[in-house]
């Protein structure tokens, strides 16, 4: 299994950036393939946008965890900016459809969680710039 753990963003307070690839557990998938799958999954996630915010869900910090199982099943834990988000019922399907296009994966499971709740601190610098917050 390969895990892209909780993403920690560059913060104006801390000026520290942590690579999203930290937290590799163990995998039967060759490292080169894991790197390609990871890059392709992230690229696919970056095509999904919250319709109310001009930034993709990856840069917004809505993706909490990505697991790539040895059988190449991708499991994603994600959240929304608010539990009452109007696209709450649709966005997991958007994520599943986007990641499902990645060559070499066997399937996608998306789980929604609100623990911990999303906060703007989870946004990347790129998302903050897009929103005019930086």
- pLDDT per residue as tens digits for the range 25-49: 567 888 899 999 999 999 999 999 9
pLDDT band at 13 (very low <50, low <70, confident <90, very high): very low
Q: What is the mean pLDDT of the chain?
A: 83
Dist. CA 106–CA 33, nearest whole Å: 14
SS3 99: helix
Dist. CA 72–CA 75, nearest whole Å: 9
With tokens 């557990």, the residue in question is 25
Dist. CA 82–CA 101, nearest whole Å: 27
Q: pLDDT at position 102, please? A: 98
| pLDDT higher than threshold 90 for residue 133 | no
| pLDDT higher than threshold 50 for residue 127 | yes
Q: pLDDT at position 23, please? A: 52
pLDDT band at 11 (very low <50, low <70, confident <90, very high): very low
Phi, psi dihedral angles at 63 (to 5 degrees): -95, 115
């Amino acid at each position: 299994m390969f895990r892209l753990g909780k993403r920690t963003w560059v913060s104006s307070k801390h000026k520290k950036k942590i690579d999203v690839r930290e937290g590799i557990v163990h995998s039967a998938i060759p490292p080169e393939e894991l790197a390609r799958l990871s890059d392709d999954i992230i690229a696919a996630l970056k095509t999904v946008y919250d319709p109310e915010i001009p930034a993709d869900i990856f840069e917004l910090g809505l993706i909490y965890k990505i697991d790539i199982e040895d059988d190449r099943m991708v499991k994603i834990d994600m959240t929304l900016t608010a539990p009452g988000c109007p696209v709450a019922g649709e966005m997991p399907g958007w994520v599943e459809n986007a990641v499902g296009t990645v060559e070499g994966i066997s399937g996608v499971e998306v789980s929604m969680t609100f623990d911990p709740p999303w906060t703007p601190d989870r946004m990347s610098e790129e998302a903050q710039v897009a929103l005019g917050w930086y």
